[in-house]
Amino acid sequence: MASAESSESELGPDDVALLEFERSHWGAGANKESAVRERFGLSLARYYQRVYALCHTEAAVRYDAVLVRSCLEAASTRREGQGG
């Protein structure tokens, strides 16, 4: 089992798959929820929790800083919209 330190420094295949999927399915598409369930076996909420948690790692920033920034900005915008 990987330590927390190694998971922070390197992306695993599942992490890369999540980031690549988010890159290719950016935004809220009509069939994104079913695609997430089919591909990852996750609810859309759990998928976004994992993507956003991943985006807070240095490894994800090294992998694709632009995608990470876009994801975090989208998450911030969603939180601001729900809080008011």
pLDDT level of residue 83 (50, 70, 90 thresholds): low
Q: What is the residue-averaged pLDDT of the chain?
A: 85
pTM: 0.77
Q: Contact 82/50 with Cβ under 8 angstroms?
A: no
Instruction: Average the pLDDT over 60-72 and give the result.
Output: 95
What per-residue confidence (pLDDT) applies to 5? Answer: 40
Over residues 20-42, the pLDDT tens digits come to: 999 998 776 778 999 999 999 99
What per-residue confidence (pLDDT) applies to 79? Answer: 73
Instruction: Average the pLDDT over 49-67 and give the result.
Output: 96
58 contact partners, CB below 8 Å, separation of at least 6: 8, 9
